Structure 1
C-alpha cells in the first residue's frame, strides 16, 4: 500500500456525512430500496431497482435530483411538484418525501453512531476548521443523533443547497460553498467522500486532496470520477496507537 499524504499539510477539511462520518448511507439505501420497490410494482416499471441504481443515479445527490435521475433512467417522467407535496403525490417531490419518511422512521427507531475510524480522525483534526458537505436535508438531525454536530464550523446540506440555489453534486457548488464558509482556499483543503457524484463535486471545486472512501461505490469508479486516492476507512489516516486507544 502506498504511503498516505500527510494531512497536517492542509489547512482545513470537508467531510461528506452519509457513508463517510456515519453509516447512514446504509439506512438511506434501505429506504430508497423499499420506496422504489413499491413504486416499480405499482407503476409496472420494468427491471428491478438495484444497488447499482443507487450508486449510479441516487448516491450523493439531493433527494429530488436522485428521484428524477433514477426515473429518467427508466424513461419515466413525472411533474417535479413542490417540497410540500404529500406522500401520496405522484411527483418527484412526493416520491422523494415517501423515501424520507422511511429514513426518518428508521433513524428515530435505531439511532446512529459515527464510524469509529471517522471519529478518531475527527479527534486528530480537532484543531483545524472542519465542515460537512452533505446533500441530505437530514444532515443536522443525523449529526445531532451521532453526537458530533458541534465539531463543525459549517454544515452545507440539502436545506442550504435548496435555499441558496446551489446545484446538486456532482456540480462544484456545494464544496465551493463549504470552502467559502471555512474561509480557506480550496487548494488548501482536503475532502472525504464516498459517492461518485461527491468526489466529482469536490474535484470540480478545486479541492486539493479528494479522498474517496470506498463503502461500496468501488475504488476504480471513485478514482475515475475525481478522487485523488481511495481508502476503505478513515482510520487509515490515524496512528495505530491512537486507533487502539480509541477502540
Structure 2
C-alpha cells in the first residue's frame, strides 16, 4: 500500500477530526486567541512577548493537534513565559498553565453556543466511499468534545472508531507529535500501521504519523503552514501552480537507480567497467590510498575500473538508517532488503582504496549500523589521518577537520544509534569491544545537558532539573520510556 494510482486501498484509515472532518479548527484557533490575548495583556503589558497571539501561524505551530494543556505549555514556552503547571480543577484564569487551558475551554464553549461546528462538504462523501470499499475509518482528536461534535455533524455513523481527548486522558496516551494516538486508533481498527493511512492537516500530526511508520501519510494544505508573505514568495520563486506539487510527487517516485550483479551501482554503466587486480597492486605498492596517482604513473586511469577512492553509493548508509533507506527505495519502486544492502556494502568495500579520509569515516558508520566487526578499525583510520600525514602535506591545511568532526559524531550518534525525532530520543546502541563504555551530554527536546552513559549491556540517561516535561525515549525493540526532569534512569539493553 503506497498511495500510487492503481495500488490497493489501505486496510484502515485514521483521520484527524479538527481541520480534516470538521471545520472546527478556526473555532479552536479563535478560542485560543481570546484566552492568550487576555492573559498576555495581563502578564506582559507593553513588552514584545505580549504581542497578540497569531491565530494562523502560532495556532498551527504550537497548539494545533495538541491537548489543551500541552498546547498552552508549548505556546508559553515559545514566548518565554513561565507559569506553574497548576491543578486539573483550576478555574479559568492566567495564573497557571491549566488555568489558561481552562480559559480557552470556556471561550470554545461560548463559541459553540453561538455557532455550531459543521463538517466539511466532502467529509461525508469520503467516509462513505471508504466504507463502500470495506475500509474501516477512525477519527482522532486531542479535544474532549470530538465525539459529541462528530455525532452532531452526523459523521459518527460512518466511523468505526472514535478516539478523543477523554480517551487520551483515561488511557494516558501521549499527545502529538508522539504517534501513540494514531497507533491506538489503528489497533482498534485491527490494522497494522504499515497497512494503514493517516490523514492530517497539522505538521505535528504528520510528524506523529511518520513516527508511527504508517504506510501512507496524507498532509492537507501544509503549504499554508507558512506565513502568508513567505508562502506567496515561495510560490512565486518556484513558479508553483496547483499542479506543480503533483508533478514533483510523480518525479520523486520515478527516479532511476542503477543496479548491477544484484547490488546498487555507483552510476549507470559502472558494472561494465573492468575489474582491478587489487591484491596484485597491494602486493606491489603496499599503500594504495592514492590509486589514481599510481595508475596515472603507469599510463593508465582509474576511470577504466570498478574502483573508487570513496564509494559514494555507501553514503546512503551513512545518511539513512536501514529501514529509512528501504522505505525510500520502495517509494521509487525498488526492493532493497537487508541482504541486498549487505551485498552492496561488501561489493563496494572490496573495490575502494579509501583515498579520502571521509571514506574511512563513512565505512565506519555503515559497518557500525550493520554491527560489522571492522567498524572501529575504519574509525581509527580516520583518527590517525589527523595525527599522521597519511596523504603527504594536506593535514596541516586543516583539510581533514570534517572527518575529525565526523569521528566524534560516529561515537555520539553512530555507536549509540542516537536519533532525535518527533517521537522522542531514539537509542539503539551497537556493542563495540574497543569502546565498551563512554559518556557525553546533549540537548534534546528543549532539555540542555542531558547526560548519556553507555556501559556494557546498560544505558543511563540523566535529565537536569527544569520546568520542562519529561524526555520521551525509544529503546531497542520499540520499548518506550520517559525520564522526568531532575531524574536519572538506567535501562538494560
Matched, 1:61 2:69: no
Q: TM-score, normalised by structure 1?
A: 0.82
**2:5 & 2:30 partners in 1: Cα distance?**
34
Match of 1:152 in 2: 159
Q: CA deviation at 1:65?
A: 0.2
Match of 1:192 in 2: 199
Q: Is the 8 A contact 2:119 2:153 kept in 1?
A: yes
Match of 2:140 in 1: 133
**1:117 & 1:164 partners in 2: Cα distance?**
32
Q: Give CA deviations for 1:225-247 in whole Å, capped at 9, x if unaligned.
A: xxxxx89xxxxxxxxxxxxxxxx
Query: For 2:50, which of 23, 37, 46 is the aligned residue?
Result: 46
Q: CA deviation at 1:109?
A: 2.3
Match of 1:181 in 2: 188
Q: 1:184 to 1:190 in 2, by over 3 A?
A: same
Matched, 1:9 2:9: yes
The DSSP-based 3-state class of the residue aligned with 2:198 is: strand
Q: CA deviation at 1:150?
A: 2.3
Match of 1:217 in 2: 225
**1:99 & 1:167 partners in 2: Cα distance?**
21
Match of 2:112 in 1: 107
**1:173 & 1:128 partners in 2: Cα distance?**
21
Query: After alignment, is 53-62 or 21-30 more displaced?
Result: 53-62
Structure with the larger helix share: 1
Q: 1:80 to 1:190 in 2, by over 3 A?
A: same
Q: Is the 8 A contact 1:40 1:46 kept in 2?
A: yes
Matched, 1:19 2:9: no
- Determine which structure has greater relative contact order: mean sequence separation of CA pairs < 8 Å that are 6+ residues apart, divided by chain length: 1
Q: CA deviation at 1:217?
A: 2.5
Match of 1:90 in 2: 95
Match of 1:162 in 2: 169
Q: Which runs of 5+ in 2 are unaligned?
A: 232-244, 247-493
Q: Is the 8 A contact 1:194 1:217 kept in 2?
A: no
Q: CA deviation at 1:111?
A: 1.2
Match of 2:78 in 1: 73
The DSSP-based 3-state class of the residue aligned with 2:197 is: strand
Q: TM-score, normalised by structure 2?
A: 0.42
Q: Which runs of 5+ in 1 are unaligned?
A: 222-229, 232-247
